[in-house]
Structure 1
Amino acid sequence: MPRPRRTQISLEDTPYYHCCSRVVRRAFLCGDDTYSGKNYDHRRAWIESLLFELEAVFAIDVAAFAVMSNHLHVVLRIDIDSANRWTDREVLEQWHKLFKGDELTQKFVKDELVQAHEVNRLKHSIALYRSRLCDISWFMRCLNEPIARQANQEDNCTGRFWEGRFKSQALLDEAAVLACMTYVDLNPIRAQLADSPEQSDHTSIQLRIRAALKGEQPSNLLPFIGNECDNQPNGIAFAFTDYLQLVEDTGRIIRNDKRGYISENSGKLLTRLNIPHDNWLKLTTEFGKLFHGPVGTLQELTDYCEHLEKRRRHFAASCQHFHSNR
């Protein structure tokens, strides 16, 4: 039985989560549908556009994404510190970008007088909206529901567009985050929709490469900030050029369908992550098959389960791929 989202989120262990939504019946409702003969590629642009609109509203960063023909991958980072720093007014202003709120919240934002007996209700609404603006379930709801309505309107039909609830899994350490991001960024290549990362439309890796050509990083994606140090902005504590090299080398091995060596630069990265080359290739090519729950080392998984009071360490066997003693 599916577990409530609140029992899968542990900010004490990690702010990073991988989410996946699949369209109904695994039909190609965002690409070429062989059954109907129609092409729905324009819907992938809908999803990408809305994803970045929501990123600007929620206290949630997008680390990686890939909009495929029949499913969507996103790697998200919950920015709880930003949500807590927002003033009451900023919380309501952010919420009103998506929802109307109520008469009381509208009154507060417009600097109109709030009666004494209304203060407690106003504070409750602000606290509720603040929590929702750093909630992955609300983020995915605001992403999936409008797309479903828009697609159904286009098809002049009703019913489900997405298959049930989206799937989510915790990424418990740096290696898990990088493996999942690489898996997501190389999705179009594995699906033979593109020959190289820069040709992979509607993906984070394409946006990062285009920005890199200008000496920049995309403003709407969580940046790479290199090695961690004091007073750094939020970001992935990893060198951006190293990540691009890692994706390129991993993708080359996948496309050649062989278990060849990984280049020197990427070898250094895997050594630092303490993951054997064969394990890394398995992680980045079979991530979706290996993991259906939290991802990380066995120790990270144990801590995560303890914090959420889980009695069993499910998926422990898959997490052993992050160890070097296999």
Structure 2
Amino acid sequence: MRKILVLAAALVFVVSCSKDENKLEDDTVGVHFAAHRGCGSMEVLEEQLRADPSLAGRMQRIEQLTERAISEGKLVNGVIEIPVHVNVLYNTAAQNISNAQIQSQIDVLNEDFAGTNPDYNLIPADFSGVASGDIKIKFIWDPTTGTSRKSTTKKNWRTNDDMKRSNKGGLNPTDCANKFNIWVCVLANNILGYAQFPGGACATDGVVVHTNAFGRGNYPLFASFNKGRTATHEVGHWANLRHIWGDATCGNDFVADTPVHNTSNGGCPNQPHFSTCSGSPREMTMNYMDYTNDACMYMFTAGQKSRMLAVFGSGGPRSAFAQP
């Protein structure tokens, strides 16, 4: 088992989890071929920690609560139903995604979090003993009332949360305390998505997913990321999961049953794929919290399940979602 490091120390080492720098000076750059997964969650967290010095303390308390809930077995029982509100920002008619496309993403989330995804049976025998199975989290979206749409002149959006603010041309979240908000828009530099970790402000809580990586679809420029797994990855962050490599060389993701990784993995690595970290463990490249292609990620672990469920437990930062 890996030693669980103090979160406050880990926060000092927060780095961007996007391999593309978000340096656009305007919004005139179009969408280009996306060759690798870019997640902006850690970059956003770094900015939030700079802007709000009290956030590190809140996250440290969440980490202590999480460790205690796991060690004492005080996790949520039954199925947690998460009401979803989708905010669509579009510059062209094609970007105004259909209800069918939204439903396809909800279907992917429900499959991946229930362990009913068709590729779940591809989990290698080495990892089958730690696979999460059904996490008991279900996503509920109402096609009649669960969507807000807005036409915009912006061609793309940075990871500065402007898409979450009506006064910046975006859309304010709907009932942020009781609904899980997803913003779907074209992100600059082909960032595929980002999430806000537990502990952040309600007004910016939720996840953002690139229009061309949302749900199951036929996106020629995003052919490696068209099975809806970007949202699965970002929801993992929203529920307090870190990247499997801990955003450092042989880093710590605060989960005991995930192997230590050298760094992120992209594409579809040949199996088995071994780390050069201490003990040369086999890397779990098919984990949703790595950077592999959508077709090559298909599992959470039991430890990740426990960590996610802890934030919905009594006193947890997302406990409101577990209330009847």
**TM-score class normalised by the smaller sequence:** under 0.3
Structure with more relative contact order (C-alpha pairs < 8 Å, separation 6 or more): 2
* TM value normalised by structure 2: 0.25
Structure having the higher Rg: 1
Larger % of helix: which? Answer: 1
* TM value normalised by structure 1: 0.25
